[in-house]
Amino acid sequence: MGNETIIEIKNLSLSYESDNTTYEALKDINLTINRGEFICIVESSGCGKSTLLSVLEGLNRATSGSVKINGKEIRGAGVERAVVFQSYSLFPWMTAQENVAFAVYETNKKRGEKISKKKAFEIALTFLKRVELNGFENKLPSQLSGGQQQRVGIARAVAQDAEVILFDEPTSALAPELVGETLALIKQVAKEGHTMIVVTHEMSFAEEVADKVVFMDGGYVVEEGSPNDIFYHPKEERTKQFLKRILPPSDYII
């Protein structure tokens, strides 16, 4: 992991109107993420962290400020990012292999690179094997467990060879017994050097895997730093109050 900046967020704000009331979902966010970093975003309440991810995904447009990936505005062409959603978001009429192959084929098509559908299927099978889904390539999503569907989603994201992989609460829709294996797989992918941003409520996972933890509250970035800094030596009062609610008192230093 180097110090080359891949994502630069400056003065990012997002507000929306509902019932004649203006709500500020994001408030003057400033973040710099380096290539190869694993970032975990955690939050005490609200939906700021998921809203920030939706801006990075290109699903929401900020009210003000800018987001650049590799120096390009996020709305520009050629900005590549892959997303692993909490609801899997697989095409229900496609098999596991077809879901991954379709993403590979479309990604290469957008890049202007020629790839045959046969090659896309070969690549898809390779990545399904990497997430231990040998023998499941011809299964439809309805024939797979939640954990297996999430594995397909992770295989699809990694197979696209995107510059940034975004995970939106990847374990929230899983049964408790499947959470551990999914987090272990994400940890394995992280070791491959991908730039990854994970919105999560799994604090032990964030502590173990993240290069940087970003704590948000009320649409603001309250504090950011290494897992050790955030979980054991927090500087901001709001961070301390958050930790008091989720961790035993002896687990952090105030």
Q: What does the alpha-carbon distance between residue 125 and residue 122 come to, in Å, rounded to a whole number?
A: 5
CA 83 to chain centroid, in Å, comes to: 6
In this model, does residue 250 exceed pLDDT 90? no
Question: Could you tell me the sign of the dihedral formed by the alpha carbons of 214, 217, 223, 229, in that order?
Answer: negative
Mean of pLDDT over the chain: 85
- Give me the pLDDT at residue 75, please: 61
Could you tell me where the beta strands, DSSP code E, fall in the chain?
5-18, 21-34, 38-43, 64-69, 72-73, 81-84, 164-168, 195-199, 212-217, 220-225
Question: Could you tell me the sign of the dihedral formed by the alpha carbons of 240, 243, 245, 249, in that order?
Answer: negative
pLDDT in tens, 8-28: 999 999 888 777 777 788 999
| Segment holding 208, helix H or strand E | helix 203-209
* 132 pLDDT tier (thresholds 50, 70, 90): confident
Torsions phi, psi for 34 (to 5 deg): -90, 155
Comparing 109-123, 145-159, 168-182, the range with the smallest average pLDDT is 168-182
Could you tell me where the beta strands, DSSP code E, fall in 70-209?
72-73, 81-84, 164-168, 195-199
In this model, does residue 77 exceed pLDDT 50? no
Q: DSSP for 34-56, please give it.
A: ETT-EEEEEESSSSHHHHHHHHH
What does pTM read for this prediction? 0.85
pLDDT in tens, 209-243: 899 999 999 889 999 999 999 999 999 999 999 88
Q: Which residue has the higher pLDDT, 175 or 145?
A: 145
* 248 pLDDT tier (thresholds 50, 70, 90): low
